[in-house]
Every structure is written in structure tokens, then in C-alpha cells.
């Protein structure tokens, strides 16, 4: 007797490899998905009575492939499905299959699958939705809930993505070295976006969507297993682990945002932090710095500080300086300004971000951060204007509430100073 939790874990772990291999055989996402679905149903029956197979992925691929071939032969006429008892000696066939599957196609299959989901013709929202559906195997309903759209809208989004992929005629052969590198970066970017979507939701009532973060971490780990020697993938995984380690401390019991310096650091997940440290340490040995590694290094500086006042802001300032050079962006500079305010004071920080306003005129965090600097400088009127603007740009209720708290504090301080 094999327990359901085991089967569940075995199926979801086998899914990327199985779908990827089936896609290589059938070159059609729908066929691959349908066949895998069928194989899962049979696994549920077969494994519970006959015990677990030696290699769940190989078993699923074998059964799914046979099912799809049968379907094709039958020309989709509806007849009763073959009972898996009719498949002669699944164990032997599966063992055989497992030998051939070993490492030979594994990496390229999964990479191709991920890349298909990240096809450059697809907008990033469709990329993420497709990856969650195809690679992660979330249901349309789950994905719709995560993105706060209706199920039918999400269904449509995924169907449209699939159609585009089919029309784009993605090549199915193994990618060359240069192309593989390029694909890897696209996939990494998709995983990063997926995590961000979970880390600070782009809309709605819920500010943090833990399942999306967890799924992104799972995919990052998968990618790292496929490319164990890529420092940027180590950096990406480390970054996600370190950011996610704070999940339990980032919101209070009322769902309000708790700033880094006010967080209860005992709630930070030390296991994730230590794994992140181990990965970033390994990555830095390669001397090939990249944006993910540097962001992970910044997150690591925060994670290392047991108390907010222990934070090495000078190092954070330096790391952001490096990041500005390899990936110049006003958002990076804005983040650096926070470190600068700690090291050299709010006036220097304000000076750094003033020129960014035209580029960040619609960016919630710009006004939140500038407002905070202005408060520190005692320029309360101007701060109030920035906070009001931030509220109008807030994406989630938690963001708006957080700024409102700042304003309340400003008002109270205003009253006390008048009273004195």
C-alpha cells in the first residue's frame, strides 16, 4: 500500500520531466498534458495496489506515451481504455525506459519545456501562467485565484499562450551552447517575475502570496539541479530563499506591512537563510558576478544582522553600487538611497533620488521612500504631499495602509509639537 501523500509528491516531482519528455515525442502541449493526466490517474490505481515503481517519472512517461499512441492509433474514437493490467510487465519496460532516460535527455527536455513557456513572443503574464500550468501543474482555478482573475479569463490567457507557442513553431531539437545560455537567462527571469508576483502582489487585498513564492523557489531549485555550475542560478535561488525566509515576519496579524527594521527576526526562517548563505558563498567562488548574485548578497547582509542596528549598511551601499553598474536602473538607485540615508544621512539620500522623479513618477515606492527622507529632514509638508501621492499609486490595501500609518504618525507628531 502506497500512501496518497507519497503518490502526490512523486507525481509533482516527476511532472516537469514527464511532460518535457512527452512533449519531445508528441510535439504538442495538449497531447502531452492529456497523456500525463491519464498516466496519473492510472498511477493512483496501480501504485496503491502494486506498490511504488522504482522510478515514478519513467513509469509515468511510459504509461502516458502508450496511452497517447493508442489514442492516436484509434483516431480518437472513444473506446474503453486499456486497463493498465493489459500493459505487459510495466516494471520491466519501465526499468528499461529508466536506463535510457537517465541524464541523456533530461536536462534539455526540461529546459526546452521551460523555454517554450518563456517564449519571447509571450507577454510575461502569459509566460508565468503557462509555466504554472504546464511545468508546475497548478490547476487553472489555482492560477486564476493566485492572479485574482476569473477562471474563464485565466483559461483564455493560457489557451491563447498555447496557441501562440504552437504558431511560433518552437524548434524541438536540443539547443546549442550559446542558445542554451540565452534560454537559461529567459527562464531565470520568468522565475524571478513569478517570485516577485508572490512577494509583493501587483493587486488586490492579499499582499503576499506564499504559494507563488514557493512555486518560484521550486522552479529555481529545479533549474539549479539542471545547471549546478551556473553562479547566476545559484544567486537566483539564494535570493529567493533569503527573501522568502522573512515571509512570516513581513505582515502582522492584521495583514499590515511590517518594515524590515521592525520585523521580529526570530520569525525569520533560519533553514532557508542558511541554504541561501551556502549557495551565495558557492556562487561567489566563480568570480562571475551578476545581478542575481548581488541582490542575493544584499539580502544576505540583512539576514546576517540579528538586530536591525547590526546591519552593515555600508556594504549594502557598495553592493547596490556594483548593481547600478552592471544593471543600471532607477529602482536600483532608489534602493541604494535607503542604504545611503543610513550611512551618510537623509540629505545625501534625497539628493541621490531627486533626479529619478521623471522616471519613477508612477512608482509607489519612490514617493514612500522620498516621503520618509523628507520626514527625517523635518520637511513635513512636503512629506505629506509625497505620502498622499504614494497612496494614490498603491497596488494593494496593505501598501496603502502602510503609508496611511506614516501620515498618522506625521499628524500626531505635528500635534505634539504644537502642544509643546
Partner 1 sequence: MLYALLCYNSEAMVADWSPEKDKEVMAHHLAVERRLAEQGKVGPVVRLMPTTTATTIRSGRAPSVIDGPFAETKEQLLGFYLVDCDSLEEAIRVATELGIESGAMEIRPVMHFSDLSNPRGAVGEAAGGADGQNTQARGIQ
Residues that bind partner 1 (CB under 8 A): 3, 5-6, 8-10, 12-13, 52, 55-56, 98, 102-103, 218, 221-222, 224-225, 228-229, 234, 237, 270, 274-275, 278-279, 282, 285
Residue 230 CB, shortest distance to partner 1, in Å, is 8
Helix orientation angle between 140-147 and 177-199, rounded to the nearest 10 degrees: 60
Residue 379 CB, shortest distance to partner 1, in Å, is 46
The 3-state DSSP class for residue 177 equals: helix
Closer residue to partner 1 in complex, CB, 80/103:
103
With vertex at residue 329, the alpha carbon angle to CA 147 and CA 260, rounded to the nearest 5 degrees, is: 60
Among residues 365, 327, 329, which one has the least CA distance to residue 200? 365
Measure the CA–CA gap between 351 and 19, rounded to whole angstroms: 52
Residue 103 CB, shortest distance to partner 1, in Å, is 6
Closer residue to partner 1 in complex, CB, 9/72:
9
CA 358, 359, 364, 369 dihedral sign is: negative
Residue 275 CB, shortest distance to partner 1, in Å, is 5
Give the residues across from 396 on adjacent strands: 204
Closer residue to partner 1 in complex, CB, 223/339:
223
Closer residue to partner 1 in complex, CB, 134/383:
134
Measure the CA–CA gap between 400 and 391, rounded to whole angstroms: 5
Closer residue to partner 1 in complex, CB, 228/414:
228
Whose cell is 474563464? That residue is 152
Residue 7 CB, shortest distance to partner 1, in Å, is 10
Closer residue to partner 1 in complex, CB, 167/177:
177
CB-CB contact of 122 with 164 (8 Å): yes
Residue 6 CB, shortest distance to partner 1, in Å, is 6
| Set of cell numbers at residue 66 | 502508450
Residue 249 CB, shortest distance to partner 1, in Å, is 17
DSSP 262-276: GS-GGGS-HHHHHHH
Closer residue to partner 1 in complex, CB, 23/110:
110
Amino acid at each position: 500500500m502506497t500512501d496518497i501523500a507519497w503518490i502526490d509528491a512523486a507525481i509533482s516531482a516527476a511532472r516537469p520531466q514527464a511532460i518535457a519528455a512527452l512533449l519531445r515525442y508528441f510535439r504538442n502541449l495538449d497531447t502531452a498534458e492529456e497523456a500525463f493526466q491519464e498516466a496519473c490517474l492510472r498511477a493512483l490505481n496501480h501504485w496503491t495496489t502494486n506498490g511504488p515503481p522504482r522510478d515514478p517519472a519513467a513509469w509515468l512517461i511510459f504509461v502516458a506515451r502508450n496511452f497517447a499512441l493508442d489514442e492516436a492509433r484509434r483516431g480518437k474514437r472513444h473506446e474503453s481504455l486499456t486497463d493498465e493490467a493489459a500493459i505487459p510487465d510495466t516494471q520491466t519496460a519501465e526499468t528499461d525506459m529508466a536506463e535510457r532516460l537517465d541524464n541523456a535527455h533530461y536536462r534539455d527536455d526540461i529546459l526546452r519545456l521551460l523555454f517554450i513557456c518563456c517564449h519571447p513572443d509571450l507577454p510575461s503574464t502569459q509566460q508565468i501562467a503557462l509555466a504554472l500550468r504546464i511545468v508546475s501543474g497548478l490547476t487553472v482555478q489555482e492560477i486564476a485565484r493566485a492572479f485574482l482573475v476569473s477562471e474563464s479569463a485565466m483559461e483564455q490567457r493560457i489557451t491563447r499562450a498555447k496557441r501562440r507557442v504552437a504558431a511560433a513553431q518552437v524548434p524541438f531539437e536540443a539547443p546549442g551552447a550559446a542558445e542554451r545560455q540565452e534560454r537559461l537567462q529567459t527562464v531565470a527571469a520568468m522565475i524571478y517575475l513569478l517570485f516577485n508576483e508572490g512577494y509583493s502582489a501587483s493587486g488586490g487585498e492579499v499582499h503576499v502570496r506564499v504559494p507563488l513564492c514557493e512555486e518560484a523557489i521550486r522552479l529555481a531549485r529545479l533549474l539549479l539541479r539542471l545547471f549546478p555550475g551556473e553562479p547566476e542560478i545559484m544567486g537566483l535561488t539564494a535570493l529567493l530563499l533569503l527573501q522568502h525566509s522573512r515571509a512570516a515576519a513581513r505582515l502582522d496579524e492584521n495583514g499590515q506591512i511590517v518594515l524590515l527594521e521592525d520585523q521580529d527576526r526570530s520569525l525569520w526562517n533560519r533553514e532557508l537563510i542558511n541554504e541561501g548563505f551556502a549557495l551565495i558563498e558557492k556562487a561567489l567562488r566563480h568570480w562571475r558576478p551578476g545581478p542575481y548574485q548581488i541582490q542575493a548578497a544584499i539580502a544576505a547582509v540583512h539576514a546576517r544582522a540579528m538586530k536591525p542596528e547590526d546591519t552593515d549598511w555600508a556594504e549594502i551601499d557598495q553592493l547596490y553600487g556594483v548593481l547600478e553598474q552592471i544593471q543600471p536602473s532607477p529602482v536600483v538607485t532608489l534602493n541604494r538611497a535607503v542604504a545611503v540615508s543610513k550611512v551618510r544621512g537623509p540629505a545625501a539620500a534625497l539628493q541621490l533620488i531627486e533626479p529619478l522623479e521623471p522616471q519613477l513618477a508612477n512608482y509607489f515606492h519612490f514617493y514612500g521612500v522620498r516621503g520618509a527622507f523628507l520626514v527625517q529632514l523635518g520637511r513635513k509638508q512636503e512629506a505629506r504631499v509625497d505620502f498622499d501621492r504614494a497612496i494614490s499609486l498603491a497596488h494593494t490595501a496593505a501598501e496603502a495602509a502602510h503609508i496611511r500609518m506614516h501620515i498618522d504618525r506625521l499628524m500626531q507628531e505635528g500635534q505634539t509639537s504644537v502642544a509643546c
